[in-house]
Amino acid sequence: MSDAPGPNDAQAEYWEDRSSSWIDSEGWWLTAVAGPFGAAALDRLEAQPGGRYLDIGCGTGPTSIELARRIQPGGVVEGVDISPSMIATAQARAADAGVGGITFRVADVQVAELGDHLLDGVVSQFGVMFFADPTAAFTNVRGGMRPGSNLSFCCWQQLFSNEWMFVPGAAAIGITGWMPEPLADGAPGPFGLCDANRIDTVLDGAGFRDIDILDVRAEVVVPEERIDDAVRSVSRIGAVREQVERFPDQREAIIDAVRSELHDRLDGGHLTLASAAWAVRATA
Ligand SMILES: C[S@@+](CC[C@H](N)C(=O)[O-])C[C@H]1O[C@@H](n2cnc3c(N)ncnc32)[C@H](O)[C@@H]1O
């Protein structure tokens, strides 16, 4: 990427700073959290062998790698992410997986050069909620897509429908008493596209049609013996991490409170926390 200031520099800095924690916790993310939603996004893409695809905000590449498998022989997928460390890990993961037809690039998808109507489809697993100007970003994405091709992504519904984020965050607030300033509606972040009406307005404004927004509900299920892994993972990213960073002296008390809250919710040897996302599909 060039050194000129970009519209999403704050997010670039945030994700690069969080990348090592994200990479450490991605086992939890992929197995316990993202699975059913990412699968819905990939299935609804209806990718075809031999096609050319883009994965927005690919992170360490799980969706790009799965998509590359689905589009052989002859298909190609490019995973794009704003964080260089995420892309370096994605490249290593793809090499380990031995999958062909896959490349990665560090870029801000809002302004990246995406070619002129060459893509046969675009997918994203929770990588589209962080744009400073979502309409500009999706307009740029549509410009890279062949008319009639599919955009398919998943994004979080509101916080209170996602107990897996809300419950640990609330336990941490119970210790520090500090309530983070709520982000403005639609501000870049995990809930940047949590309002289905806004998704519709943004995609319509970007020139997409046949916008189909599916309400997908799932559960994050953690067996009792994995609670400590869950505590570790939720403490390294998101709301609990913010609390720990702001109140380093209370780190242990915060983490103990999260652990105890999750233990209290065990039922029959399992912890079950609701999760909810939108699976969105639209036609370029
Ligand atoms: C929640 S993570 C999801 C990563 C990956 N899709 C997964 O499911 O494992 C969001 C990703 O979006 C990337 N991202 C945020 N803003 C971006 C932008 N403007 N352009 C490209 N990537 C972006 C972040 O660096 C991060 O890797």
Mean pLDDT score across all residues of the chain = 95
Q: Which of 29, 83, 111, 124 to mutate to test the pocket of ligand 1 (most atoms within 8 A of CB)?
A: 83
Each residue of 139-154: pLDDT tens digit?
999 999 999 999 999 9
> Degrees (nearest 5) of the Cα angle 277, 15, 226?
60
Each residue of 81-109: pLDDT tens digit?
999 999 999 999 999 999 999 999 999 99
The whole model's pTM is what? 0.96
CA–CA separation, 167 vs 60, rounded Å?
26
3-state secondary structure of 249: helix
CA 249 distance to own-chain centroid: 30
Each residue of 19-55: pLDDT tens digit?
999 998 888 889 889 999 999 999 999 999 999 999 9
> pLDDT band at 2, cuts 50/70/90?
low
pLDDT at residue 264 in the model: 96
- In this structure, the residues whose C-beta lies within 6 A of any atom of ligand 1 are 8, 11, 15, 34, 57-60, 62-63, 80-83, 86, 108-110, 125-127, 130-131
CA of 63 to the centre of ligand 1 (A): 11
Alpha carbons within 13 A on the beta-carbon side of 123: 33
Q: Which of 58, 60, 85 to mutate to test the pocket of ligand 1 (most atoms within 8 A of CB)?
A: 58
CA of 108 to the centre of ligand 1 (A): 10
CA distances from residue 12 to 9, 16, 24, 157 in whole angstroms, order as listed: 5, 6, 19, 23
Do 217 and 154 contact (CB within 8 A), yes or no? no
CA of 190 to the centre of ligand 1 (A): 10
Using the Cα atoms of residue 134, residue 136, residue 138 and residue 140 in order, give the sign of their dihedral. negative
Kindly give the pairing relationship between strand 270-283 and strand 209-223. antiparallel
pLDDT at residue 4 in the model: 80
Give me the domains of the chain, ranges plus CATH numbers. 9-159+184-218+277-283 (3.40.50.150)
Each residue of 112-138: pLDDT tens digit?
999 999 999 999 999 999 999 999 999
Q: Is the predicted pLDDT of residue 1 greater than 80, yes or no?
A: no
CA of 58 to the centre of ligand 1 (A): 6
Q: Using only the alpha carbons of the chain, give its radius of gyration.
A: 19
CA–CA separation, 97 vs 72, rounded Å?
14
CA–CA separation, 279 vs 281, rounded Å?
7
CA of 270 to the centre of ligand 1 (A): 30
CA dihedral angle for residue 153, residue 159, residue 164, residue 166, rounded to 10 degrees: 160
Do 21 and 241 contact (CB within 8 A), yes or no? yes
pLDDT at residue 183 in the model: 83
CA of 280 to the centre of ligand 1 (A): 17
Do 119 and 146 contact (CB within 8 A), yes or no? yes
Each residue of 179-237: pLDDT tens digit?
988 888 899 999 999 999 999 999 999 999 999 999 999 999 999 999 999 999 988 88
pLDDT at residue 67 in the model: 98
